[in-house]
Structure 1
């Protein structure tokens, strides 16, 4: 069986065409080097070198084998380096889950930072509502999730990624668009487009709680799970809605966003991961993400 050490010995002799100089480069004496070349030729069943007391030359087979041996050693070194980088977390792949709204701004900016600081880590991205991300994380189908609520689970870690206000959105030309600010009670006389109580549970609970605190009840007309779908119906003039401010990043035109003057509802986004995840790339990404969140908060 051919050994890598024998290949290194042969390549060195082939490059120097001198056993003495090759032995010096390999930090060994000449007799063991000659022995390794003999074992290599015996293993292959061919003569690679013509040697006598005056010179060393490559045979035809030796010249071809030199190219193959150099390639094999290069591939071996590359594989060794890749293994070291994977084990240290410098390289690898992470599977991320994220909500549609976080895909407008937060995730692209975070991945841009990761592309610069962690260029050899790849990412597989899955757009999912928060509840689906929680199930995927529990099943080890994703490494990290970006979810709306931090439901305490033993062995899971959460970190606040962003906090943004909720805003009223309406089509351009709507009567409420004439005001710079709105009150919760201003919304009850207009058809309201609402998040789904199942897939959009986080926003559904926030908005229901907001109206309950104000003691009013709007006229819910449509229920959808994604912000961009809600904005599409609002733009079509089918009603008004309350969405996270980041919804403005998904520019559709003919939409107006207004803050609430008598309430300050916010929407949180959390990064979540399992403490028992042994992906070596995860700690490096978590550290980068934490610094990114801190810098974004201080802007």
Structure 2
């Protein structure tokens, strides 16, 4: 029998001290306020207010209901506001994944900017080492995927970001370091140091070795770019990284890079479900990605 309208009525009575003033706040008549009060008192067979005092005084039972109102009503207000923001796409959860495991260098400033502008949106990250990340997007396990593969999938849209060159990464003392560029034949006896993803998703294999009908002697994996660089610098193998990533380590003298023949160039995309693009917080993230330039 105790309802939210009763809690609102008692808090209005406390705030204004009279039936008439409380009725004005609630946009009802004074008789309606009196009826609600009597209805509650009759149901529980207890008095809630002393009507003979000015302003109205609350009985112990009335104070107990007011304590409940002070606890419940703010939570109700917050939930109503959250529901409104959700209905208008201003709040929610944005789950991201990236096939480009070196992308966080340029993605982090965007994420920090997004958090400031969309504080009601919870950002979450899925592992980028899934065998079928596009499937995660279609199954709604993630909401946005940074990828080089614009697969023609129903319900998936792609926002172009920027193009980069995938370059071979070598130890400065490697025999191929003296070459201006390398061919697939040069690499057939090499160990490739790579991230732990399917070989067909690696730029150097999909865009360089496989088209030539060749493969590496072995593939060794690591999840960390820093470890990958260390392994290459220690002549444990060669790697392929985006040009903006390897340039940082080249400047330090740890490794060198060379073009893959005439160059292997890849386009980076942000993939989302077409059905989610009208959400305000998705549009906000797309707006930050729009016009982004390749990091130097």
Whether the 8 Å CA contact 2:129–2:197 is kept in 1: the answer is no
Partner residue in 2 for 1:294: 290
CA distance in structure 2 between the partners assigned to 1:223 and 1:187 by the alignment: 19
Partner residue in 2 for 1:47: 47
- Note the alpha carbon deviations across 1:4-54, whole angstroms, 9 max, x for none: 222211111122222222222223321111111111222343211011275
Whether the 8 Å CA contact 1:191–1:238 is kept in 2: the answer is no
CA distance in structure 2 between the partners assigned to 1:227 and 1:209 by the alignment: 25
Partner residue in 2 for 1:284: 280
CA distance in structure 1 between the partners assigned to 2:248 and 2:63 by the alignment: 62
Q: Does 1:171 align with 2:171?
A: yes
Whether the 8 Å CA contact 1:130–1:148 is kept in 2: the answer is no
Alignment of 1:23-42 (within 5 A): 23-42=23-42
Whether the 8 Å CA contact 2:187–2:216 is kept in 1: the answer is yes
The alpha carbon displacement at 1:207 in A equals 2.4
Partner residue in 2 for 1:241: 239
CA distance in structure 2 between the partners assigned to 1:87 and 1:189 by the alignment: 55
* 1:208 partner SS: helix
Gaps of at least 5 residues in structure 2 are none
Partner residue in 1 for 2:190: 192
Alignment of 1:112-131 (within 5 A): 112-129=112-129, 131=131
Whether the 8 Å CA contact 2:162–2:294 is kept in 1: the answer is no
Whether the 8 Å CA contact 1:48–1:61 is kept in 2: the answer is yes
Bigger Cα displacement from structure 2, 238-247 vs 111-120: 238-247
* 1:105 partner SS: helix
Gaps of at least 5 residues in structure 1 are none
* 1:222 partner SS: strand
- Note the alpha carbon deviations across 1:89-126, whole angstroms, 9 max, x for none: 21111222222524432432332222122111112211
* 2:190 partner SS: strand
The alpha carbon displacement at 1:284 in A equals 2.8
Partner residue in 1 for 2:209: 208
Partner residue in 1 for 2:59: 59
TM-score under structure 1 normalisation?
A: 0.81
The alpha carbon displacement at 1:77 in A equals 0.8
Whether the 8 Å CA contact 2:188–2:214 is kept in 1: the answer is no
Bigger Cα displacement from structure 2, 166-175 vs 17-26: 166-175
Alignment of 1:111-150 (within 5 A): 111-129=111-129, 131-150=131-150
Partner residue in 2 for 1:20: 20
Whether the 8 Å CA contact 1:105–1:246 is kept in 2: the answer is no
Change in Cα spacing, 1:261 to 1:236, as seen in structure 2 (3 Å) is: closer
CA distance in structure 1 between the partners assigned to 2:294 and 2:200 by the alignment: 29
